[in-house]
Amino acid sequence: KQSQIFFDVAGKAYALCARRENSTDEILKRAVGCLRKAQNLGFAVDLLVSKGRLYQALKLLRDEHRYDEALTFLETHQPHTSLDFPPQHDLSQHSLLRLAASVHAVSAQNPQRSEKSRDASYILFLQKVDCMTAEDEEHYLSQHGYKTQLVERLIKRKAYSKAGQLLSAEGKKSEAADVLCKINPNPGSKDFQLGIELLLAHALEEKCDEKERILS
């Protein structure tokens, strides 16, 4: 704590010098470095913004794993040309959403955290997923085990075949058939064919299970 206080005082002193018109990049770098060690990122970001260093401010938040804050920063300053990134860039909204979603998903499934904390992380995870492309949304929901939520979203997007395939892969053949042939308002011949096959497979599985119970 004492070292943090020292770096905070030093960082603010350097920041005072850095705000002057004749200040150098070296002074700004020292100010940000000290503030970062003091974990006073808010002050460091404000300093960088005041000097027009929006790219550096955003990168600082990303490097410190403050992904939610980085996304808010990007949204606030998005019209600025220095923050106009292609989707594949490390500081683009796409990349930051992926990082934030992964962090919240892991936190939501961490048994060492309280139930309230896990629920809050789960909500934040879904919020990030809601802002993703359809492809990323499907990938991250599936990757982190939220298959039920993914199926619901696929049905909402009228992607009935994909929802049915996902349910079938999860062993939920009867539910898959319902999605393909009942929930789907306009099922095609392929949907009907697959639905029938799934129902037959489901019936066969139930018959085998019943036989095993009788024999046991």
Inter-residue contact 31 to 14 (CB < 8 Å): yes
Length of the chain: 216
Residue 202 burial (CB count, 10 A): 18
The confidence score (pLDDT) of residue 207 equals 59
**Band of pLDDT at residue 84, cut at 50, 70 and 90:** confident
The Cα–Cα gap between 71 and 93 comes to 7
Q: What integer is the mean pLDDT of 107-120?
A: 96
44 has pLDDT over 90: yes
For the stretch 47-64, pLDDT in tens is 999 999 999 999 999 999
Strand, coil or helix: what is 147? helix
The encoded tokens of residue 60 equal: 């600082």
Q: What are phi and psi of 122, to 5 degrees?
A: -65, -45
pLDDT > 90: what percent of the chain? 64
pLDDT (0 to 100) of residue 215: 52
Average pLDDT, the chain: 89
Separation CA 158–CA 154 (nearest Å): 6
The pLDDT of residue 94 is: 94
For residue 38, CA distances in Å to 58, 99, 113, 199 come to 18, 24, 26, 62
User: Which pLDDT value is given to residue 210?
Assistant: 55
For 161-206, how does the pLDDT look when each residue is reduced to its tens digit (9 = 90+)? 889 889 888 888 888 888 888 888 887 778 777 777 777 776 766 6
Q: Give the per-residue pLDDT at 12.
A: 96
The two tokens of residue 155 are: 């049905």
Query: In which residue are the tokens 């096959």 written?
Result: 197
Structure tokens given for 32: 């940000």
The CA–CA distances, whole Å, from 191 to 18, 23, 58, 66, 102 equal: 66, 69, 48, 45, 34
The better pLDDT of the pair 80, 31 is held by: 31
